[in-house]
Structure 1
Amino acid sequence: MTSAKYDVLGIGNAIFDVLVKTDEGFLGAHGMTKGGMALIDEARAAAIYQDMGPATEMSGGSAANTIVGLASFGARTAYVGKIRDDQIGRLYTHDIRAAGVAFQTRPAKDGPATGCSYILVTPDGERTMNTYLGAAQELTPGDIDPTEIAASSIVYLEGYLWDPKNAKDAFVKASTIAHNAGRQVALTLSDSFCVDRYRGEFLDLMRGGTVDLVFANEAELHSLYQTSDFDTALTQLRADVKLGVVTRSAKGCVVASKDGIAMVPAFPIREMVDTTGAGDLFAAGFLFGLVRGTGHEIAGRLGALAAAEVIQHIGARPQTSLKQLAQQNGLPV
């Protein structure tokens, strides 16, 4: 196997994040389910944006957040996601490249605008997302560059993207190229609503070997196996995939493989500000540990460290060097 040009390449919905602090009243007035992710059209996006207070704006998308986190650890990274050649699309491109990520996906010349997510953060730090996918859904197999995929140690796929037919085909194409090149493929389940819609298909991806590693939180895991018993779900996960990582908020994470189960505690924090990106950044730390060969437990510690950094401020991207943070905490980078 040839040496990799990239440690991790992510494929996902390229979404521009608009974050705002708000209260339960705003959610109620707009008929939003707290803590959930709703897909919206352009008209509803405009209505929400009009009513929102001052916002923090930055490039986002689940897999993109993970890839930016990996870059902050010092990993070599690339990202594939569809934007339109519009003002927000150009901002997105500048942002992700400025974070040290290779981003070469051709922007669409016409069609839907670049995707946006309106993220409302209540005083308890819980985030409620309203996402207009726009151009992100226009990703096709033609956007998958075989040379880039084959040159990446791990290809990381975002469950949110498992919706349009073309994106599914792009997913499977990338996985096939990666496996043919002797690389690994990881999938994040993204959201329990996502799992509810595509449970059978996600299980097929796992059981059929399309993905080697799965990231899930507790809610997603329970949804995947339709059981409220954590141990039952975990046993099933171990049977279905080579490596499964389940995050449990303040309880830390559980790493499940054929060899056994490792439990890793959460990192202590001073104050919970915004949970946006916690799972994305956890995945960044864990994948970084994996490509550096640290073992599952240290990888879990790196994930916990990155998640702790991101939940202590507004926004889903690290605000300090994760490499330096890891060094300060005696973790290998």
Structure 2
Amino acid sequence: MADIVKVDDDSDEVNVEVVRLLTKASEEVVDRVDLSGQQLKFLPEEFGKLTALVHLNLSNNHLQVLPDSIAGLLKLEELDVSSNLLESLPDSIGLLTNLKILNVSSNKLNTLPESIAFCKSLVELYASFNNLKFLPTNFGYGLANLKILSISLNEIRFLPRTISELESLKYLDAHFNKLHGIPSSIGKLMNLETLNLSSNFSNLTALPDTITDLANLKELDLSNNQIQALPESFGQLQNLTKLNLDQNPLVIPPMEVVIEGTEAVKSFMIKWRLENIAAEEQRRSVEGTDGNQSGWLTWGTNMVNSYLGQGKSSGSKDSYLDQLL
């Protein structure tokens, strides 16, 4: 049984050699093919015949498209097409329901196909260093097993609300994008341990309060943004052990607290929240007292008006009531 097909030919006829090897492979049971760094410009349709293929490495080539026939690789679990010239992925990629690892980093992708949501076995998705401006609106649906999502070094402005459906997600790297905000639904990612939102620069100015619902969050990188204040309940992130807030115009907490470390920040935010709660309770108490006074005043005024109205109707007049009014 041939376990690995590896091409080492650097000649201009490399694609011809690939066809020859694939033809041979189609006559045997091959579960792993490594064609990385072979200057490939296209893939022959024969790829669809490698139905036993489990691992396919096509990284560091010159591929501009992937053929639809790749959907025939129904047993494929790992696909690496990083460092190519791909501008899109075929919709047929959604038929790879056994795919667990997909690496499309360092290409020219403008978007990911919505069909990627049908890759229900996907555990790791690497899509960094592309031209992505958004993720599919249905992105979270169907990817319940996804644990690692790397979408750094793109031009993404917003994350879809459906990201909350990634219930197994542990690692999310979205640094160096153009994020204008984070959806409040991110608070539903209860298994998230690492979140990198650094270097979104002037675009990211605030965080949703729900980010403090990430009970298992251990590492949070918010450096190089324009965040002025952390959410009031930030101190409830009990498992957070690594926090980077460098290069932000922070007011709450102040930088003298930030430089003392993660625990100092959490302690400050807890104290600040308690002070705010106490101040709010005091304000409500004062308003309640004023409200009672206002209520009595309104009642008294109504009684006076009622009395005066009766007096006027009967032709009588009370000078004292006139003075009150």
TM-score by length of 1: 0.28
Superposition TM-score, scaled by structure 2 size: 0.29
Higher relative contact order (CA 8 A, sep 6+): 1
